[in-house]
Amino acid sequence: MSAKTGNPRIVDVIADTAESAINYLEFVASCYDAPLLVDSSLSQARMAALRHFRGSEIIPRLIFNSIDEHLSPEEETCLRECRVINAIVQPFSNRAIRPRDRLRLLEEELLPSTERTGVQNVILDVGVLDIPSVS
């Protein structure tokens, strides 16, 4: 569909463990030339994958998913040390439901955190989940 419509694609690679994250990313990277999301609910799995691919030809294709209010100092360091240049920034939180609160979270916490990581390319995911928050 990407070739047919001209819309670019990103492959979201979701893993439950460090080992599976590495294996899945290696496999998908060998099949597609698209950017790859490094995605897991476990920060240890995301960091293990980044460390595994550090310095490889795959690292410029990886997109860390995501820089949010739960990003730990350890993950910040990992992103910086692995020279990850792409990340999704997600200003979505139980404490930031309204747009102005999300902007405050983004400006005061997430963008400074993103700057400390060295990430250069940001995809902003506003995470709209319900109709009342759209207003």
Q: For the chain, give every domain's residue range.
A: 9-128
Cβ(67)–Cβ(117) below 8 Å: yes
- Three-state secondary-structure class, residue 20: helix
Averaged pLDDT, 64-82: 96
Q: CATH 3.20.20.20: does it fit domain 9-128? A: yes
pTM beyond 0.85: yes
Helix (H) or strand (E) holding 49: helix 43-53
Q: What are phi and psi of 85, to 5 degrees?
A: -110, -10
Share of the chain above pLDDT 90, in %: 81
Residues 13-72: tens digit of each pLDDT: 999 999 999 999 999 999 999 999 999 999 999 999 999 999 999 999 999 999 999 999
Q: Which residue has the tokens 């990340």?
A: 87
Most distant CA pair in the chain: distance in Å?
A: 44
Q: Report the distance separating Cα 33 and Cα 124, nearest Å.
A: 22
* pLDDT exceeds cutoff 80 at 125: yes
